[in-house]
Amino acid sequence: MYKIVEKAYRYRFYPTDDQKEYLARTFGCCRFTYNYFLDLKTGLWKEEKKRVSYSECSTLLRSLKHEYPWLKEVSSVCLQQSLRHLDKAFDRFFKRQAKYPKFKKRAYEQSASYMKNSFTYVDGEIRLAKQKQPLGIRWSRRFTGTPNSLTVTRESAGRYYISIHVKEVVQAFPFKPREVGLDLGLKDTITTNTGEVVCNPRFLEKKQKTLRKGQKTLARRKKGSNNYKKARIALAIAYAKIRDKRHDFLHKLSTKLVNENQVIAIESLTVKKMIQNKYLSRSISDVGWTTLVRFLEYKCDWYGKDLVRVDTFFPSSKLCSHCGYKLEELSLSTRQWKCPQCSEVHDRDKNAAKNVLAEGLKQFAPINQSTVGRTGFYACGACVRP
């Protein structure tokens, strides 16, 4: 089975001094455009209760180039894409999916988006608009599709990356009649219904001493000085390394789960509310539940697998996976418990994973009637819980 999907390939590249200067101007113009029209929209709404559409902003941008001639030095496509990003940010705000858009700052991550008419891809080399030299990209892997857009990014750590968006034909993974239920945790990243445990690497916790030292060094420097910039970049590099290690671990874990199972049942967690707990917020952020679920979602969609999300309030830990008895209370410190009805002794996480799988199969079977009898899926979850 084949499917056409949109994929993004991310590579690191090493620009020359001239390219760094040009990209710095491009990032600055994109940031200025975004902030200018964000301020304009905010002011017009406060004073006149008037909204400004993308087309109106695009028309105003043309006259803005006469007032600020240096905007003409960079590709106009990047500036138009900044307006689209701003428009999308407001759409997400009105749909209550995000907070009100904020102004972009120079010290943070910078990016510029190019569409198909503003770059060339010939013989494995990419040249941006108004640039003659190709980008020095480190091709860690190749793609087969034709690039339709790309995004150039400079991290706060000073590293340059390019994200190339292509449409490719993806072949589904071979069918495997196996289902798995996942229980997400802090001590262990996941626990499966078979008792398999993947420990939490705790990348952030292991580097707390280094980060604390970097924060102290940055606090002692005079803001705006060269030593302050050096300390800020050193601290940003330390955080970037932690993020890279976490993403590498979660990518490998999610690919393994998708490759070995046909159906993956996972509990839905309200991470945004959970990180408000001041005692667990750092640990929850370190384990990366949201990122893992996001990776599983798009990989299951690409490779023909099924991801089922169980309701947040489903009592997976309190429910006996053997007889269905439900406990009234179960403290977080209790890692094992004995069922009062059938005397079965349960490991908290393994029992929760079994219940998540059983509940997930209940939701999955009515949607996929064609799989009943072929893979062992039952609407009552009888293949997991008697």
Instruction: Tell me the DSSP string of 193-222.
Output: TTS-EEE---HHHHTHHHHHHHHHHHHHSP
The domain of 351 spans: 179-371
Question: What is the reported pLDDT for 83?
Answer: 95
Question: What is the reported pLDDT for 347?
Answer: 86
290 and 148 in a common domain? no
378 found inside a domain: no
Query: pLDDT band at 107, cuts 50/70/90?
Result: confident
Question: What is the reported pLDDT for 114?
Answer: 95
233 and 105 in a common domain? no
Rounded to 5°, angle at Cα 2 from 5 and 361: 85
> Can you name the residues that pair with 338 across neighbouring β-strands?
345
Q: What is the pLDDT of residues 260-283, one digit of tens each?
A: 999 999 988 888 888 888 888 999
What's the rounded Cα separation, in Å, for the pair 128 and 120? 7
Q: Are β-strands 125-128 and 197-199 bridged in parallel, bridged antiparallel, or unpaired?
A: unpaired
Question: What is the reported pLDDT for 270?
Answer: 85
What three-state secondary structure class fits 125?
Answer: strand
382 found inside a domain: no
Question: What is the reported pLDDT for 365?
Answer: 60
The amino acid sitting at 352 is A
Mean pLDDT value of segment 238-248:
94
Question: What is the reported pLDDT for 318?
Answer: 84
Cβ-based burial of 360 (10 A; exposed 0-12, middle 13-18, buried ≥19): buried
125 and 210 in a common domain? no
Pairwise pLDDT comparison (50 vs 377), residue with the higher score: 50
pLDDT > 80? residue 204: yes
Q: Locate tokens 């407001």: which residue?
A: 90
Q: Locate tokens 């997976």: which residue?
A: 316
164 and 187 in a common domain? no
115, 137, 171 — which closes off a domain?
A: 171
Q: What is the pLDDT of residues 327-342, one digit of tens each?
A: 888 888 888 888 888 8
Question: What is the reported pLDDT for 137?
Answer: 94
171, 202, 224 — which closes off a domain?
A: 171
Neighbours of 246 (CB within 10 A): 20
Q: How far is CA 267 from CA 91, 281, 313, 321, in A?
A: 28, 19, 9, 16
What's the rounded Cα separation, in Å, for the pair 350 and 361? 17
The amino acid sitting at 283 is S
386 found inside a domain: no
Q: Report the candidate in 250, 356, 261 with the shortest Cα–Cα distance to residue 313.
A: 356
What's the rounded Cα separation, in Å, for the pair 158 and 358? 48
63 and 114 in a common domain? yes
145, 171, 197 — which closes off a domain?
A: 171
Q: What is the pLDDT of residues 350-366, one digit of tens each?
A: 988 999 999 888 877 64
The residues annotated with a catalytic role in the active site are 183, 267, 349
Structural domain total, the chain: 2
186 and 158 in a common domain? no
pLDDT > 90? residue 175: no
Q: Locate tokens 């929209």: which residue?
A: 41
Mean pLDDT (the chain, rounded): 88
Q: Are β-strands 263-267 and 345-347 bridged in parallel, bridged antiparallel, or unpaired?
A: unpaired
Q: How far is CA 96 from CA 92, 127, 152, 271, in A?
A: 6, 38, 28, 16
Neighbours of 361 (CB within 10 A): 25
Mean pLDDT value of segment 94-109:
91
E strand map for the chain: 2-12, 110-115, 119-122, 125-128, 147-154, 160-171, 179-184, 188-192, 197-199, 263-267, 306-310, 336-338, 345-347
49 and 11 in a common domain? yes
The distance from CA 40 to its chain's CA centroid, rounded to whole angstroms, is: 30
Question: What is the reported pLDDT for 386?
Answer: 39
144 found inside a domain: yes
Q: Two tokens at 214?
A: 């970097």
Q: What is the pTM of this model?
A: 0.85
96 found inside a domain: yes
128 and 197 in a common domain? no
What's the rounded Cα separation, in Å, for the pair 126 and 137? 8
186 and 60 in a common domain? no
Q: What is the pLDDT of residues 12-58, one digit of tens each?
A: 999 999 999 999 999 999 999 999 999 999 999 999 888 889 999 99
Question: What is the reported pLDDT for 41?
Answer: 94
135 and 253 in a common domain? no
323 found inside a domain: yes
Q: Two tokens at 13?
A: 């590249």
What three-state secondary structure class fits 114?
Answer: strand
78 and 122 in a common domain? yes
**Cβ pair 241, 249 in contact under 8 A:** no
326 found inside a domain: yes
pLDDT > 80? residue 306: yes
Q: What is the pLDDT of residues 128-156, one digit of tens each?
A: 999 989 999 999 988 888 899 999 999 99
186 and 166 in a common domain? no
